[in-house]
Amino acid sequence: MLIALYIETNSQRIDRAETVLVRACDAVAREAAGSAVTVSADDPSRSASHALEAFAGVEGGIWRAGVGSIAYAFPSYEGTGVKTDLPQAEERTIRQVAESTVAADRPVAWKRDAPSQVLMLQGCPIPGKPDLAAWAMTRVVTVGGRPFLLATTGLALLLVVLLGSAALLARVLWRWSLRLRSIERALASGSADLPVLALTGQRDLDRIVGAINGAGIAAAEARQRSEELRQRVAEGERLAALGRVAAGVAHEIRNPMAAMRLKAENALAENADPLRAKDALRVVVDQVARMEQLMQNLLRSVQRSAVRREAISDVKGLLEEHAELFSEQAGRRPISVEAPDALDPPAHLDPSQIGRALDNLILNAIQNSPEGAPIRVFAKSTVTGLEIAVADHGNGVAAEIRDHLFEPFTTGRADGTGLGLAIVREIAEAHGGRATVEHRGDGTTFLIELPGGAS
């Protein structure tokens, strides 16, 4: 590229010099044509000097055939004094060009390439003076045979610049890489909170570090506020649940206590019939037994009993056994059982507790289904374990109690205690599983999801 640029630049300079040389020669010829030219007169030299004043670096004069130079001028000569003597080194060439111009009566151009310069001459005939010729000469300085040296020097300089830039860039990237790795190690420390990163000394990188530190501080503060809010919500939910349980206990105990009080007052009345007093005491005993059963159910719903697991492969037999217990109570509600004949591998569960959870779910389905509505009890193996479900075609669960359905004393029936589903939840969680509900458009499905394995 440098060589091509050099060649193109030299060619353009030579072309411009040739154009200037032709114009300078014509100017000298016009000046000579308009003046009287004699061998001894000073006018020709003055005319030539006047004509060449506008052309820097151009020398010229007038040549008479058979005589020689009769006028010479180099008005832009940069040496000391005024150059008036004809250049001896080029006199022979000037003679040849001028004589050829007079003989041919037309412009003659001549050019010679030297190692360090290009010498150019131009001869012009003078109108009306057939024995005279004007000439002009100039030099174009070049580097001659050193373009490859120029190119080599330029390429070497360019290579040095490139290598220096590459080294500087490599150093910058290496330092960035070290700093980024230190940030990466700090971020991968495993802490829940973002670590406070040390500044690297790199302005742009430190802006990122500052943003990360700020985000870490904000995240830690937000996490702390979230934890405080979660604790408040949990405390509020606990108090709300406790309030609902207290209200449920009060509601369930109030009716038996009212009945016992009435019977006791009748038994203590004056002139009370001994038989009526005995009946009143029996009612009081029955109501105490009812409250005792209520307390036992309440304790079962909030306290987990020990789970005695057994390997059960005949889950279908377990479902059929408990469905049969409610065949008469179900009335015209058909209860169907669907389950694999044998589980492989078998399920590890406490059949007594799972049976009690099934009883509560089947009884709940009977109590919430109209006559003739089918009840489906089924079980199936899943990827994570075993799923037991009871589906009814009742009116579903009211929206206002869905979020608290498995809490004690949450019920949608006036005669319900709301402890059955709470017991189901505790049994499922004691097995390491969970109790859930699906609200369908035509009823409700309660599920007990049990994990696989013997643990």
Number of domains in the chain: 3
Least confident stretch, 57-61, 157-161, 231-235, 329-333: 231-235
Average pLDDT of the residues in 360-388: 89
Give residue-wise pLDDT tens across range 331-369.
889 999 998 888 878 888 988 888 888 988 998 889 888
Q: How far is CA 224 from CA 210, 219, 231, 321, 353, in A?
A: 21, 9, 11, 52, 41
Would you say 73 and 91 are in contact if contact means Cβ atoms under 8 Å apart? no
Is residue 268 predicted with pLDDT exceeding 80?
A: no
Q: Are residues 293 and 320 in the same domain?
A: no
Percent of the chain having pLDDT more than 70? Answer: 80
Per-residue pLDDT band for 99 (boundaries 50, 70, 90) equals very high
Side-chain half-sphere of 347: how many Cα atoms within 13 Å? 29
pLDDT of residue 96: 94
pLDDT of residue 123: 95
Q: Hunting for tokens 């971020």 — which residue is that?
A: 187
How far is 263 from 261, CA to CA, in rounded Å?
Answer: 5
Would you say 335 and 377 are in contact if contact means Cβ atoms under 8 Å apart? yes
Q: Hunting for tokens 């440098």 — which residue is that?
A: 2
How far is 455 from 453, CA to CA, in rounded Å?
Answer: 6
For residues 174, 177, 178, 181, the Cα torsion angle rounded to the nearest 10 degrees is: -160
Q: Are residues 269 and 327 in the same domain?
A: no
CATH number, domain at 134?
A: 3.30.450
Q: Give the residue from 238, 267, 302 where a domain finishes.
A: 302
Q: Are residues 424 and 321 in the same domain?
A: yes
Among 92, 93, 82, CA closest to 53: 82
Is residue 158 predicted with pLDDT exceeding 50?
A: yes
Q: Give the residue from 262, 279, 302 where a domain finishes.
A: 302
User: In the structure encoding, which two tokens stand for residue 291, read together?
Assistant: 């409250």
Q: Hunting for tokens 């009143």 — which residue is that?
A: 280
User: Could you please report the per-residue DSSP string of 289-339?
Assistant: HHHHHHHHHHHHHHSPPPP--EEE--HHHHHHHHHHHTHHHHTT--EEEE-
Q: Is 324 or 192 the better-scoring residue by pLDDT? A: 324
Count of beta carbons in the 10 Å neighbourhood of residue 296: 11
On whether residue 123 sits in a domain, the answer given is yes
User: In the structure encoding, which two tokens stand for residue 423, read together?
Assistant: 């017991």
Q: Are residues 325 and 447 in the same domain?
A: yes
3-state helix, strand, coil in the chain (%, to 5): 55, 20, 30
Q: Cα 356 to the chain's mean position, in Å?
A: 53
Q: Is 246 or 157 the better-scoring residue by pLDDT? A: 157
On whether residue 22 sits in a domain, the answer given is yes
Q: Are residues 345 and 445 in the same domain?
A: yes
Q: Are residues 316 and 443 in the same domain?
A: yes
What range does the domain containing 17 cover?
2-141
On whether residue 215 sits in a domain, the answer given is no
Q: Are residues 351 and 442 in the same domain?
A: yes
pLDDT of residue 345: 83
On whether residue 187 sits in a domain, the answer given is no
User: In the structure encoding, which two tokens stand for residue 345, read together?
Assistant: 């591998």
Q: Hunting for tokens 């109590």 — which residue is that?
A: 367
Q: Give the residue from 113, 141, 169 where a domain finishes.
A: 141
Task: Name the residue type at position 42.
Answer: D
pLDDT of residue 455: 53
Q: Are residues 286 and 332 in the same domain?
A: no
pLDDT of residue 304: 58
Q: Are residues 369 and 421 in the same domain?
A: yes
pLDDT of residue 41: 44
How far is 424 from 430, CA to CA, in rounded Å?
Answer: 10
Q: Is 2 or 45 the better-scoring residue by pLDDT? A: 45
pLDDT of residue 98: 93
SS (H, E, C) 124-149: EEECCEEEEEEEEEEEEECCCCCHHH
On whether residue 357 sits in a domain, the answer given is yes
On whether residue 220 sits in a domain, the answer given is no
Give residue-wise pLDDT tens across range 407-434.
776 666 655 666 778 888 888 888 889 9
pLDDT of residue 39: 41
Q: Are residues 104 and 87 in the same domain?
A: yes
Would you say 365 and 392 are in contact if contact means Cβ atoms under 8 Å apart? yes
Q: Are residues 383 and 445 in the same domain?
A: yes
Give residue-wise pLDDT tens across range 306-337.
788 888 889 999 999 888 888 888 888 999 99
On whether residue 198 sits in a domain, the answer given is no
Q: How far is CA 39 from CA 6, 30, 44, 63, 67, in A?
A: 45, 18, 9, 10, 9
Give residue-wise pLDDT tens across range 28-42.
999 888 765 554 445
pLDDT of residue 209: 78
Is residue 139 predicted with pLDDT exceeding 80?
A: yes
Q: How far is CA 140 from CA 52, 95, 108, 137, 354, in A?
A: 17, 21, 19, 10, 112
Give the H or E element holding residue 379.
strand 375-381
Q: How far is CA 416 from CA 97, 216, 244, 298, 333, in A?
A: 134, 52, 14, 13, 20
CATH number, domain at 436?
A: 3.30.565.10
Side-chain half-sphere of 41: how many Cα atoms within 13 Å? 11
Q: Are residues 328 and 419 in the same domain?
A: yes
Would you say 75 and 107 are in contact if contact means Cβ atoms under 8 Å apart? no
On whether residue 285 sits in a domain, the answer given is yes
pLDDT of residue 58: 93
